[in-house]
Amino acid sequence: MLKPILAANWKMNHGPTDARAFMRNFLAHYRRDNDRTVAFFPPSITLAAVQQALADRHEFVLGVQNIHHEASGAFTGEISAGMARDAGARLVLVGHSERRHVFGETDEQTALKCELVCKAGLVPMLCVGEKLEEREAGQTEQVVLRQLDAGISRLEPTNVATMLIAYEPVWAIGTGRTATPQDASAVHAAIRRHLRERIGERAAVLPILYGGSVNRGNARLLLAAPDVDGLLVGGASLDAGNWAAICQE
């Protein structure tokens, strides 16, 4: 069994001052013996504050929410994979539904980003998920596997084997509507079957997280579902006590 991964995506919340207060509160509620991997995706401007607050706590993993799909250049406001690594990130979210559907990120860009992340020695957490109309049209697997194939298209099998996948149905993100554990399991199993064709038995241990309106009330059941290896949590990760409780469900 994989050690479950609990990942907090703070989106555009918590500047450095808030983050320092959050971490004091979180650490006060978090048991050191918790047998989980806990990751934080703060805004990149907040990464240093989180890193400092967790300086002597090496069990936590830090990541950034996005990088640009080119390695460097005149891209005002953007950050690169190399800069993320330099700032202390180990993980990078790629293809989050807000990047895809609010900022128009394409499958080709997610492929380039995954490639740059791996080249920088970091680990991509590739997010995939269908929109409501796609689910209702019975296209869930087709959409998710297309996004998956695109995201890994420029990677060597060794890189694919060490990445993370987050299945996040778009209709469940920030809506209060969660996939049932059975629905999540079915999609996760399809992702794993598909990855097996690419990387063989290493797919059995590739972490596939579920995300979409996870909260204290549903985290335990989702985590217990077959093929669900962790949770990617937005809104419910913003309160330190709440997040510590979810991490210990």
Binding-site member from 5, 9, 46, 113 for ligand PEP (CB under 6 A): 9
Q: Minimum distance between the CB of residue 217 and ligand PEP, rounded to whole angstroms?
A: 13
Asked whether position 213 contacts ligand PEP by CB under 6 A, the answer is yes
Q: What is residue 42's DSSP assignment? A: -
Asked whether position 147 contacts ligand PEP by CB under 6 A, the answer is no
For residues 165 and 144, the answer to whether their CB atoms sit within 8 Å is no
Total number of residues binding ligand PEP (CB under 6 A)? 14
Q: Tell me whether residue 14 is one of the annotated catalytic residues.
A: no
User: Contacts with ligand PEP in 161-180 (CB under 6 A)?
Assistant: 168, 173-174
The bridge status of strand 230-233 relative to strand 208-211 is parallel
Q: Which residues contact 61 (CB under 8 A, 6 or more apart)?
A: 37, 38, 39, 40, 90, 91
Q: Tell me whether residue 96 is one of the annotated catalytic residues.
A: yes
Phi and psi, residue 175, nearest 5°: -105, -15
Asked whether position 214 contacts ligand PEP by CB under 6 A, the answer is yes
Distance CA 249, CA 244 (A): 9
Count the Cβ atoms, other than its own, within 10 Å of residue 245.
16
Asked whether position 233 contacts ligand PEP by CB under 6 A, the answer is yes
Pick between residue 67 and residue 214 the one whose CB is nearest to ligand PEP. 214
Q: Which residues are annotated as a binding site for substrate?
A: 9-11, 174, 213, 234-235
Which chain residues interact with ligand PEP by CB under 6 A?
A: 9, 11, 168, 173-174, 211-214, 232-236
